[in-house]
Amino acid sequence: MEFSELIKVRRSIRKYKAAPSHEELAAILKEAQQAPSWKNLQTARCYVVESPEKIAEVRTQGLPEGNRSKAENAALIVTTYVKDLSGFNAGVAANAVGNGWGAYDLGLHDAYLILAASNAGYDTLIMGIRNGDAIREALGIPDSETVMSVIAIGKRAEEPGIRPRKEPEEVIRYC
């Protein structure tokens, strides 16, 4: 798909009818790995929730009611980053941003992921409103990682409107 078309097609979808296969997910995640990262450290981690028991656990314990219903019929990917690496030199923060660089790298990774999903004919919803402790417990995520998002991925069962964006003058300054 043309890149500008991909940007238009990609929308947060809150109603799904089918999830991608294991193979389709693996291909999307492989493309997401091409995202740039601090010193190419690649601290982004993905937990693809596949077993029916874990799906049920993440849905009921990890997502509040509002988001749970939006992720029905979709696959779930939990994304985390390994702490104290991106933005650090030999364990010392390179600047005041600290682990913000890990979150930055993960954001880039997840942006690639959702665009790769759109290009493969799937839709996504990034969910930041989630119970990180419950997800950590359910999936055995080590304390060395920060749990960030749950990403629902599947075929859309709704046609969303385009959410408005601010005027460029409000957010961009040419200096």
Give contact residues for ligand FMN (rule: CB under 6 A).
11-12, 14, 67, 70, 125-129, 163
Name which of 148, 151, 150, 149 is nearest 123 in CA terms. Answer: 151
| Closest approach of ligand FMN to the CB of residue 89, in Å | 27
| Closest approach of ligand FMN to the CB of residue 98, in Å | 19
- Give 86 or 149: the residue with its C-beta nearer to ligand FMN: 149
What single-letter DSSP state applies at residue 12?
A: B
- Give 55 or 126: the residue with its C-beta nearer to ligand FMN: 126
- Give 163 or 173: the residue with its C-beta nearer to ligand FMN: 163
- Three-state SS annotation for 79-126: EEEECCCCCEECCEECCCCCCHHHHHHHHHHHHHHHHHHHHCCCEEEE
| Closest approach of ligand FMN to the CB of residue 53, in Å | 23
Nearest-CB residue for ligand FMN: 128
φ, ψ dihedrals at 91, nearest 5°: 85, -5
74 neighbors 49 (Cβ within 8 angstroms): no
| Closest approach of ligand FMN to the CB of residue 128, in Å | 3
CA distances from 107 to 45, 82, 110, 166, 170 (A): 11, 13, 5, 20, 23
